[in-house]
Amino acid sequence: MTTFVITVPGTFLTDITGSTRSTLERALASQHTDVSESEGLDLLTLREDNTFSIRLEVEAPDRYEAELTATRLLTAALREAGIKEADAPLGPPAVTGIDSSL
């Protein structure tokens, strides 16, 4: 297995509160560990125009599975934070880091 850091962009179509943001970050915290933290990557970057980037660390056999897993995790976390999918459309995920034991 390989550890991938996946960045998923998106846009909040409605403003999110500080507590909603905190709930989202807590829901994703377990996916932001050694690789992403050692590289100084923030879990959530939220810009003034409500566009955002989420960086998640996932274990997967390949890039495709890593991107799918990250998207599923983010979708579930958004739901947990009370954000409807229609209110936070996601862009295509991208691999922004790899840590392999090979």
Looking at residue 93, its pLDDT comes to: 97
The pTM of the full predicted model, rounded to 2 decimals, is: 0.85
What pLDDT is attached to residue 96?
86
The answer to whether residue 41 scores a pLDDT higher than 70 is: no
Taking CA atoms, 22 is separated from 25, 42, 92, 93, 100, in Å, by 5, 13, 24, 22, 31
The pLDDT of residue 102 is above 60 = no
Q: Which fold has domain 2-100?
A: Alpha-Beta Plaits (3.30.70)
pLDDT band at 35 (very low <50, low <70, confident <90, very high): low
> What's the pLDDT score for residue 31?
72
Please state whether beta strands 2-11 and 51-60 pair in parallel, antiparallel, or not at all (unpaired): antiparallel
Which of 62, 48, 5 is closest to 28 using CA atoms?
Answer: 5
Mean pLDDT of 82-90: 94
Residue 32: predicted pLDDT: 62
How far is residue 43 from each of residues 1, 2, 29, 33, measured CA to CA in Å?
Answer: 22, 19, 8, 10
Is 52's pLDDT higher than 90? Answer: yes
**Cβ contact 29:74 at 8 Å:** no
- Give CA–CA dist 1/101, Å, rounded: 8
Residue spans of the domains in the chain: they are 2-100
